[in-house]
Amino acid sequence: MAAGSAAGALLLSIWVLQLDLSSCQSLPRFGYVGGNVTLSPASTVSFTEITWKKGINKIIDWSGNKEPTHYPVPNDRVHLDIKSGDLVLFNLTSSDEDEYEIESVDLTHGQKFNLTVLDPLPSPTLGCYWVNESISVHCEVPQSYRRHRDLLRCTWNCSSQQCENSSQLMALVANSPPELRFTKDDDLSQEVHCFVKDPVSSRTSSKVLSTCVPADNPRHRYLLIAITFVGIFFLIGFLCYARRAEKTTAR
C-alpha cells in the first residue's frame, strides 16, 4: 500500500517534471533588422508583476503601479505592455538575437522565446546564360542577405515541365544556385518566376525566356556585306586583268 502510493508519487513527480520541461521549450520567433517584433506570453491573467530576461540578464522589470524599469539603461527600443505582458522590440538589430524569457508570479511557469533576427529579404535576381544552344536560368539572392541564409527556401514557377518538380521549396545552397535549363524548342515566350521566402517574408522575380536568346548581331551582318562587296570588286578587277592579259598573248 505504502509502496504503491510511493510509486504513484514518483510517477506523478516525473509527470510534473515532464510537463515542466515541455513548458521550458523555447518558442521560435523571427524578425528582421530594422523591423519590430512582439514576444507575447499569450496569457489572460492580469499581471501584478513582470520580469523579462534576455539570455541570463534582466532587461525590464515591473511591479505594482510603478513605471517599468529598464536594464541596463532606459531604452526606447524596448517596450513592455503591462496588461498583456507583451515585450515589443523596435528597430531590431542583430544583437537582439537571443533567448528571451518572461517570469511572473502570476504565471504558473515562465515562457521562453528564441528570437532570430534576419536581414530584410531583397528580391532575387534572375540571370540567364545562352550556352551550347540552350538557356540556363539561375536564381540568386543578393549577398546583402547575409544572416541565416540557411533558412531561405526557393521555388520556380513556369508553364514548362521543368518547373513541375519544384512545387516543394528547396534550400538555397550557396555554391550551386537553383538552375533551370531550356532548349530552343521550349516555349520561349513564357515567363519564369523564382520565389524566395524566409520565415518573415517572401519575394519573387521573373524573366521572359526570349530575352535570354542573343539577338543576331547587326554589326556582323554589315561586316559580312562589306566583305562580299570587296570580294566582288576584286573578282571583277581580276577578270578584267585576265582578259587583257589574254588579248596581249593572243596578239
Ligand X SMILES: *[C@@H]1O[C@H](CO)[C@@H](O)[C@H](O)[C@H]1NC(C)=O
- Choose among 70, 173, 56: nearest CA to 110: 56
Could you tell me the three cell numbers for 64?
505594482
Q: Which stretch binds ligand X (CB under 6 A): 44-52, 57-65, 161-169, 238-246?
A: 161-169
Q: Which of residues 34-73 bind ligand X (CB under 6 A)?
A: 35-36
Residue of 111, 116, 124, 154 interacting with ligand X (CB under 6 A): 116
Stretch that binds ligand X, among 12-20, 42-50, 158-166, 214-222 (CB under 6 A): 158-166
For ligand X, what does the binding mask look like between residues 72 and 111, x meaning CB under 6 A? ------------------xx-x-----x------------
Neighbours of 85 (CB within 10 A): 23
Indicate whether 159 belongs to the interface with ligand X (CB under 6 A).
yes
**For residue 141, what are the contacts with CB-CB under 8 A and spacing of at least 6?**
121, 122, 124, 125, 149, 152, 154, 172, 196
Contact (Cβ atoms closer than 8 angstroms) between residue 160 and residue 173: no
Q: How far is the CB of 128 from ligand X (least distance, A)?
A: 14
Residue 83 DSSP code:
T
Sheet of 111-118, strand order: 26-32, 111-118, 98-103, 49-54, 57-63, 69-70
- Return the number of the residue (32 or 47) whose C-beta is nearest ligand X: 32
- Please, which of residues 201-230 interact with ligand X by CB under 6 A? none
Choices 12-20, 157-165, 176-184, 242-250; region in contact with ligand X by CB under 6 A: 157-165
Per the CB < 8 A criterion, the answer to whether 35 and 93 are in contact is no
Q: Does the protein bind ligand X through residue 120 (CB under 6 A)?
A: no
Q: What is d(CA 118, CA 191) in angstroms, rounded to the nearest whole number?
A: 30
Q: How many residues bind ligand X (CB under 6 A)?
A: 17
Which residues make up the interface to ligand X (CB under 6 A)? Answer: 26, 28, 35-36, 90-91, 93, 99, 114, 116, 131-132, 157, 159, 161-162, 165
